[in-house]
Amino acid sequence: MGYHVFNGSPNLKKDLRTVQENGEPEIHERVDLRAWTTLGVGGLADLLVRCRSADGLQRAIDVLATHGQRWLVLGAGSRLVPTDRGLRVPVVNLSGTLGLWELDLDGAVAGGGANLAQVCRAAARTGMSGFDDLMRTGSSIGGAIQAASQGQRELAGILDWVDLARPGRGVERTRVSDRNGWQPGIDLDLDRTIVIRARLQLVSARTVTSPGGILLQDRHRGQRQPRSAEPLFVDPAGGRAFALLTEAKCVDLKVGGARLSQRNPNCIRTVKTARASDVLELARAVRERVHKRLGVELQPSICFVDEDGRTVDL
């Protein structure tokens, strides 16, 4: 199979390498997505651009936009399920300083590639509270904000501001805090906008004695993470997806190498032999059973994409 992304833009690779400074952005070809997604599924990506700083990211997306390329952002990889056929669209990965976070007295500033659950657990150790649901998700900060802009309410009431990068415009800050209701007001064109960093306004359960922020890095990076992702479905209005899946007796469902967790049926688990198609088929089977038995139509929290990075509906 040819490199479709380069077939359409023969000078793309050359131009990306031209803007490299100190080895960034890193350019990788024919990348196995199983090593980059939480569930360990997906085929080969024609092109992966790894960015470790805001400057490197800006240079990369400026070049991609100049060549008329869309892109797919890959942070923690927990919300993304790419097709087994791989991705022809360029994949932009956020790492380095874009995966760090810093705690202050009443919140946290985190890069778009930082793991949201790890940020919340670190905050909890300093006495902050009010984000119990966020400690169960493996999403990146950027992925959670994108989901919030599409109606999911995980960050409702605690998101203070967001720094967004757009090609040709640099980094722009948008304030979105609203504790009286979730009104994100963020223009997130997923093909053209990337979350660089954000601030979470948290609640202190006790006095934090540290006079300054604590710079933390993902201590689990390099360790093999469990092949599981949650939540699989968004909580519907007035209910919990966990309870609905339990009531519909979905815990026994499995397809190939994918199954639901017996501890939490709204968590999907995969074994080494699992395929993206297994995950997609299982999600469809669960959604169909809940709708048939309980009359509730659940919306997925994870994102299934085709070869061109377009969202696949269940």
Judge residue 166's burial from the number of C-beta atoms within 10 Å of its C-beta, 0-12 exposed, 13-18 middle, 19 or more buried.
middle
On the question of pLDDT at 205 being above 60, the answer is no
- Residue 152, SS3 per DSSP: coil
Query: What pLDDT, on a 0 to 100 scale, did the predictor assign at position 156?
Result: 66
Give, in words, the CATH class of 97-216. alpha beta
Structure tokens that stand for 42 in this block: 């997906």
286-309 mean pLDDT: 95
Q: What share of the chain is helix, strand, coil (3-state, %, to 5)?
A: 25, 25, 45
Q: Do domains 4-96 and 97-216 have the same CATH topology?
A: no
* Boundaries of every domain in the chain: 4-96, 97-216, 228-305
Q: At what angle do helices 116-125 and 141-149 cross, to 10 degrees?
A: 110
Angle made by CA atoms 257, 259, 263, in degrees to the nearest 5 = 140
- Residue tagged 């710079």 (tokens): 215
Structure tokens that stand for 213 in this block: 């922020």
* Backbone angles phi and psi of 309, in degrees to 5: 80, 10
On the question of pLDDT at 75 being above 50, the answer is yes
What is the DSSP track for 271-307?
-TT--HHHHHHHHHHHHHHHHHHH-----BSSEEE-T
57 pLDDT band, cuts 50/70/90, is very high
User: Which of these CATH numbers, 1.20.1250.20, 3.10.20.30, 3.30.43.10, 3.40.50.2000, describes 4-96?
Assistant: 3.30.43.10
Query: What pLDDT, on a 0 to 100 scale, did the predictor assign at position 185?
Result: 52
User: Which of these CATH numbers, 3.20.10.10, 3.90.1300.10, 3.40.1550.10, 3.90.78.10, describes 228-305?
Assistant: 3.90.78.10
Structure confidence by residue, pLDDT tens digits, 217-256:
433 343 344 488 888 999 998 889 999 999 999 998 999 9
* Backbone angles phi and psi of 245, in degrees to 5: -65, -35
Q: Name the residue type at position 210.
A: S
Angle made by CA atoms 256, 258, 263, in degrees to the nearest 5 = 140
Closest CA to 268 of 75, 94, 37: 37
297-305 mean pLDDT: 93
Mean pLDDT taken over the chain: 83
- Residue 266, SS3 per DSSP: coil
Structure tokens that stand for 254 in this block: 């499995």
Determine how β-strand 303-305 pairs with β-strand 80-82. parallel
Structure tokens that stand for 203 in this block: 């609640």
